[in-house]
Amino acid sequence: MGPLAVTQLLALISLTVALDNGLLKTPPMGWMAWERFRCDIACKDDPKNCISEGLFRDMADRLSEDGWKELGYEYVIIDDCWMSRLRDKQGRLQPEPSRFPGGIAKLAKYIHDRGLKLGIYADMGTHTCMGYPGTTLDKIDIDAQTFASWGVDYLKFDGCSSNAVEQMLGYPLMSKALNATGRPMAYSCSWPVYVGGLPPNVNYTFLGDICHLWRNYYDIQDSWDSVLSIVEWFSNNQDDLQPAAGPGRWNDPDMEKSHVEVYWRPLSQSASALVFLSRRTDMPYLYHSSLGKLSYDAGNYEAYDVFTGATVTGLNATTEFTVSINPSGVVMWYVYPKKSIQTDEDAQENLKTHMAKTVPRHRIVL
């Protein structure tokens, strides 16, 4: 691209309207596919976990049938590796037909029919991080239109295989292109991390004008970026969001010097989710607390560790416990009153089995 073209595009960007379409007044909540799982395309060998329409339909079923939706968990987000290696004859992105035979529009309808929203992934650059077709500057409009035509509600726009100039042009242009489709879509920008993540390279004021959320600046593992950015967004906006946050309440009992944060959310049947997040990057952190300190009422509880499948028994409000959280890691507990396992044992067991089956280790629930 010549200098003139760059100048012209920059002039265009200065006219970019803010992507202020009223979305994400509360933080996005939902399910995302993760790491190994994220680019598992071996549907023959691993049909349950591979990136395919069945997987995302399953996610939607779980969100809508297990009580998560009522709490505001609404986004089902497809990450990298959903695409065909080739664009179609009109130059549009298309899903890999063997894994998404019904197409994305049909999947979007399935998800919308359950009162949920669909997120999708694209990459500002020649290729996605996993080597699928990227969205170069000349493809921004057509890709935004394609996503809108499918009924997509959220775009994660990654930044592999592009340079700083292309990113400076591309991220605002995509914002404008999404707006121009007329379909309100949330826009998650991975831009900051590709330019060092800190001012002056990143102008967070500008970013806030064009994106709904963004990948934060920590030097972290690839697999962790989005979750941390969402949580970052949570914690930065928590004072504003708390009054608005869904049925139930957001409780942030702890914001420790240890860089461990704890999030709490009520679930059905008197259960709740406790999420321990560590922002440390050096070593696993041993977090000591008790349910009472985290605002739980007196009583006996058990906790089911969603990722390891371990059950923590014998908890009451004063029982001191220690959670080991890996650097940039998360521990998620499904906490339920001990009483209810006796009165409603089958339901609890069902849910645990359910979760053990449907929550692969690398999938993150927020």
Ligand X SMILES: *[C@@H]1O[C@H](CO)[C@@H](O)[C@H](O)[C@H]1NC(C)=O
Q: In the bound complex, what is the minimum distance in angstroms from residue 17's beta carbon to ligand X?
A: 4
Site size toward ligand X, by CB under 6 A: 16
Angle between helices 140-150 and 103-113 (to 10 degrees): 50
| Contacting residue, 1, 8, 12, 20, with ligand X by CB under 6 A | 20
| Contacting residue, 49, 162, 179, 216, with ligand X by CB under 6 A | 179
Q: Which of 219, 239, 282, 297 is catalytic?
A: 219
175 binds ligand X (CB under 6 A): no
DSSP bridge pairs for 72: none
> Which is it for strands 364-365 and 260-266: parallel, antiparallel or unpaired?
unpaired
| Contacting residue, 318, 324, 326, 343, with ligand X by CB under 6 A | 318
Q: What is the dihedral of CA 267, 356, 76, 142, to 10 degrees?
A: 170
| Distance, first Cα to last Cα, the chain | 41
Q: Count the neighbouring beta carbons within 10 Å of the beta carbon of residue 347.
A: 13
Q: What are the start-end ranges of the H helices in 114-224?
A: 140-150, 164-181, 191-194, 204-210
Q: In the bound complex, what is the minimum distance in angstroms from residue 269's beta carbon to ligand X?
A: 22
Residues within window 192-251 making contact with ligand X, judged by CB under 6 A: 203, 205-206, 209
Residues 133/142, Cβ–Cβ less than 8 Å: no
161 binds ligand X (CB under 6 A): no
145 binds ligand X (CB under 6 A): no
Residues 220/282, Cβ–Cβ less than 8 Å: no
Query: Measured from the CB atom, is 20 or 88 closer to ligand X?
Result: 20
Residues 291/315, Cβ–Cβ less than 8 Å: yes
Q: Which of 346, 265, 276, 281 is nearest to 308 (CA)?
A: 276
- Whether 209 is catalytic is no
Query: Measured from the CB atom, is 133 or 337 closer to ligand X?
Result: 337
149 binds ligand X (CB under 6 A): no
- Whether 61 is catalytic is no
Q: In the bound complex, what is the minimum distance in angstroms from residue 199's beta carbon to ligand X?
A: 7
18 binds ligand X (CB under 6 A): yes
Question: Which residues of this chain interact with ligand X, rule CB under 6 A?
Answer: 17-21, 179, 182-184, 203, 205-206, 209, 316, 318-319
Residues with a catalytic annotation lie at 158, 219
